[in-house]
Amino acid sequence: MKKLLISLLAGGILMFGANAQSSQGTQNAKKTVVCYFSATGTTQRLAKTAASALGADLHEIVPAQKYSSADLNWRDNNSRCVKENNDNKSRPAIANSIDLSGYGNVIIAYPIWWGFAPKIVYTFVEQNDLNGKNLVVLCTSGGSGLGRSGSDLAKHAKGAVLKGGREFRGSASGAEVKKYIDSILK
C-alpha cells in the first residue's frame, strides 16, 4: 500500500511539473515584441506607443551604418535610400540583434519607402527565425500607405504567419493601435 501511495504521489508531482512547463511554454508563445526601424523618429514614436499599449517588449533595429540626412534624400537618385530601394538584393547590415525564440507575436514597424519596407527590415526578417510566429506589420508613411509591403515582407519572413498590417500616423494613440492589433491577434 505504501508503494502504491508513493508511486501515485511521485506521478502527481511529475504531472504537475510537466503541466507547469507546458503552461510556461504557452505563456511564452503569446509574448509580444515590437521591433522597429525608424530613420527620422516618426516610426519610433509609433513603435513605443504600440509597445506601451500592448505591454510588449521593444526592440530597435539599428543600422550598422547610420542614415544621414543626405542618405535619406529620396529626391536624389544617388542617395543611399534610393540606391538601396532600387537594388532588390540590398540588405544593409544591422548593428544589434534580438533572440525572438521567446515570442509568439512579432510586430514590425517601419516607414514606407516607395511602397515597400526599407531594405534593412528585409535584413531583419531574413536574419531571424520567425517560423510559426504571428507577424503584424505597422507602417508610417508620408502618403504611400501600406501597399503590399506587409505581404512582400512576409515572403521573406520564412514560416511567419502574417496576421495583418496597417498604416498609422506616428502620433497614433495607444488605444487606436491596441484596438487594431487585438482585433487581428484574436
Extents of the domains making up the chain: 1-30, 31-184
Distance (Å, whole) CA 119 – CA 117: 6
What's the whole-model pTM score? 0.83
Superfamily of domain 31-184: Flavodoxin domain (3.40.50.360)
Q: What is the mean pLDDT of residues 55-81?
A: 96
pLDDT at 137 > cutoff 90: yes
Cell 504571428 sits on residue: 134
pLDDT at 129 > cutoff 50: yes
Neighbour order of strands in the sheet with 134-140: 57-60, 32-36, 105-111, 134-140, 161-167
**pLDDT the model gives residue 16:** 42
pLDDT at 35 > cutoff 80: yes
Of the candidates 118, 123, 115, the one whose C-alpha atom is nearest the C-alpha of residue 157 is 123
Q: What is the mean pLDDT of residues 74-80?
A: 93
Classify 76 as helix, strand or coil: coil
**pLDDT the model gives residue 3:** 53
pLDDT at 23 > cutoff 80: no
Quick one: pLDDT band at residue 142, thresholds 50, 70, 90? confident
pLDDT at 2 > cutoff 90: no
**pLDDT the model gives residue 47:** 97
